[in-house]
Each structure stands twice: as structure tokens, then as C-alpha cells.
Chain A
Amino acid sequence: MLRTITPRNARVKRVLKNREAKTEENVKTAIFIRGSQTSQIVNDALADLYMLKKPHAVNFTKKNQIHPFEDQSNLQFFSQKNDASLFVIGTHSKKRPNTLTFARMFDHQLLDMIEVSIEKGIPMKDFKTPKSAIGMKPCFMFNGDMWDQNPNYIMFKSMLLDFYHGQSVDKVALAGLEYVISVTAGPMTSEGKPGKIYLRTYTIVLKRSGVKLPRIELVEMGPSMDMTFGRISEAKPDVWKQSLRVPKELKPKKKKNITKDVMGDTVGRIHLGKQDFTKIQTRKMKGLKKRTSTEDADESSDKKQRVDDSGDEE
């Protein structure tokens, strides 16, 4: 296990503080690991996935004796050492050719893991097209009716979103939307097993459309992979629940007194407080006029006089 570090200078202290649990978390760092045996396809895939994940990525160029489904101690060690919580492990064997294992950690312990094997992969460098800049936020596209049904698909979707969504932001530059990661779920196999999934990456070209919104054209950038699912290791329900907890500070505040009615109109309720009836302005009438007792006496005598006057005129 790792020794605990006591900070002896300000720099180390800052780094350790940055690694502590926070309400608003850092972008998850991914580690790309080569297993004891890899093929060219796996190497290319790892390199391309690393390029897309940069700058929040660490590339392990040496081979590692690592079998994530048998022993997770290596992953835990790497996770703690690098403060990383995402892993892609590339291996190649006769039984499981061209395999990528996507793994996720929670609190430096393995959360869940999914294995895919690449049936056909074309690396980024084979597409002679413009590439997106490093560290841009991608758009995601999940096509097909399977993505919410099968645990394999659900996990792969969640994993991919988690890997590449980057910093959670409240605004995004429209000019900075440069590429799309599109994943299409092919049909199920005849035995009812999950079928192929097609991962494609495209750069986005905005064209004029004659209206305010632009016309979108896509140019394939690579990598392009056709994959099938392998083994899967799902998260323990209690750990999963714990990992999904949202801190109180980040929960959206409930807006009081604003509701939406059946028609979708927003209805507001306003509280006026208690009304003071003594100060309310009603119809002005002499009889309701407020007066002091002395004034009262004066005025009553006035009234009498006036009545007398009118009598005279007649």
C-alpha cells in the first residue's frame, strides 16, 4: 500500500489538498494501460482514446502484468498514486482478442468494469482529415433502442459519458463544439445476446443554412471501432448509491410558489402579507371621515349653520 504523505512544503500541501474529497470535483483522470500482451489494434485504440481524453489522461507506455477481472490491487495502487479514477486496459490473447477494459473507481476502489473486444478498428492517423484540438468538449450521440435496456449497454453509455464529458460547466462556447462521439448499437444476435456496437468520431463543420441555425456536416476524424461486449463487473448497489450522492450545495434549489399548470403555463403565487384594514382606502364619504373629538364638535355646529343658510336662500 501507499505510504501516507505528510506535507513538508506548500507545494505538496496544495497538491494533497487538491486530491481531497470536494463538493465540486476535479475532472476525472484516466490511465491508459497496456497489458502483458497487446496487438497493434489495441495499441492504436489506446493511443487514440488517450488523445481524445488529453489533458486529463496518463499514458502508461510500458507493459503491465494486469488482469483486472482477477485482481484489482494494481488498479487501486495506480488510482491512489496518480489520483485517477478511470482506466482503460488493453490486452490481447487468443481467448479474448483485442480487448479493451474500461474500469471506473470510487474512492480508489473498483466501482464497475466492462470489457469490449475490437472486431475492426481504424486508428485516427489513417483518416487524412482535420482533427479536433486537444481538450475540447465532445458531443455524444447514442443511437439505437438498446441503450437503456441491457446492463452492458447501460454501463458502456455511462462509462463513455463519464470518460469524455470533461469539466462540468454551466456554459459552453458554441465555436468550441468541434467533434462528436457517436455510438450506434447494432441489432442483437440471434441468440439474444448483445450485438455489435459501432463507435465513430466525427469533426463538425457548420454550414450556412439560410436560417439562423447552422446546417451540420460531419467529417470522420477517427478512431473508428466496431466492438462486441465481453465480461462485465457491475457496481455493488450500496457503493453505487453512495457514488451517486449529490452534495447539498450542488442540488438545484427549489423555487417556491412557482408551479406549472396542465397547459404548461407558469403560475406564480404571491404573498402580500396581512392587510391593514384601518388604512384601506374605500369610497370617500363624509360620514366615514375620521376626525378627532374636538373637530367633531366644531364640524357638527358648522353643519347646522349650513343647513340654516340653505334654508334662508329658499
Chain B
Amino acid sequence: MKQINAVLEGAGSMVMLLLRAGSYAGSLPRQWARFVEQCYLIGYTTLPIVTILSFFIGTVLALEAGYSMEGFGAKEFIGSLVGLSMARELGPMMTSVLLAGRVGSAITAELASMKVYHEVDALTTMNIPPAKILVLPRLAAVLVMMPVLIVFANIVGWFGGSVVARYVSSVGISSESYFAALRHYTKFKDVMNGMAKAEVFGFVVVLVCCNIGLNTRGGPREIGAAVTRAVVTSLILILILDYFVTKLLM
């Protein structure tokens, strides 16, 4: 019962935080500097790790597809498998997981420490809503940066697959054949589908991490626990939402 109450309390506070942040949407242009800073942290600094991860996801996909499809004589379809998998599923999901691990944890840690050290209380005392200056710029930044990260992840992943398809002898198909199959079966709507998913995942990750950070109670030890809780909750929500959003977008 206590667990259920905690889940419901967390869901309720998250919705309330979203509504409060949304009510200050008009103030976003005046927070341009904060918005750009968050874009830098969420997008620019996350790009290297997204690129590395996506490249190797593409390579592994092509390798596994080559191994599996060889028995069917269907190796020519590796491009389509990598293309669709990256665009529709792995690109958005793995980028969101990375976002939760790298950016979400940082957000929770920052907000939790501000809460623990009463900086949030000070802001409230000065009539500066935390949702306005701490949450809104992050939510806006993640909405802007996620599509950019996703398109990078997709292209790098596709390229990684083509490298394996061309240079690994057990796969051994030409780049032309790989990209022809990719182009033939992967449509731009699949890429858009993935971007829509990523927007939802990214938004939820940032919202959850902000909420858990702002609701941290106790001493400095709670900061670490809050970070762990935020990342775990984000990952679980990503996987649960993945099913429903995929179903919705089909």
C-alpha cells in the first residue's frame, strides 16, 4: 500500500510540476540564456556518447542480422533491418536511456542538492517559482534537442551497419546493396515515428528527474538515492511508454 501511495504521489507531483512549468511557458523567451545552456548540456555534450553508442548498435545489429539471415539467404535485407530498427526503435530508445543516465542523473543531482541545501526554498521565498527557472528551460531544451540527437543516432547507426556489412567477411554484402535495401524499406515516416517517440521519452525523463530532484528530502545522502531513483524510474517509464507509444503510432 505504501508503495502504491508512493507511485501515485510521484505521478501526481509530476503532473502538478508539468502544469506549473507549462503555466510559465510565456516566460521562456526571457530565459533564453538558461534555455541555451540546457540545450548545450542536453544536446551538444550528449552527442559524442550518442554517436559512439549508435555506431556500435548499428554494427551489432548488422552482425547479428548477417548471422541470422545467412541461413535464409536473406542477407540482402540487412540494410532494411538495421534501417528500420534504428529509426523506429533502437535510435530513440537507446538515446533516451543515455539521456536518463547522463543528463537525467545530472538534473536530479543538481536539483536535489539545491533542495537539500535550501536553494529551492530560497527561490520560493524570493517568489521565484522553481518550475519556472529550473524545470521549464530543461523541458523546452529537451524538446528541441531530442530530434537532433535522434537524427544523428540514426545516421551514425546506419553507417555503422554499412561498415560491418561491407567489411566483415561473414556478412559480406556491398554498401550499395545495404543502402538500397535501407532506402527501399525505411521511409521518412519511420524516422518521424522514432522522433516522436524520442520526444515523449526525453520529455518524460527530464520531467521525472526534475520532479524527483525537487522532491528530495533529508540530508546530502538523499541526493545519491534520489539520483538512483530518478534513473531507475526513467528507464522503467521509457520501456513502459515504448509499448504504448509504438502501439499509438502504428
B is bound to A: no
> Which residues of A pack against B, CB within 8 Å?
none
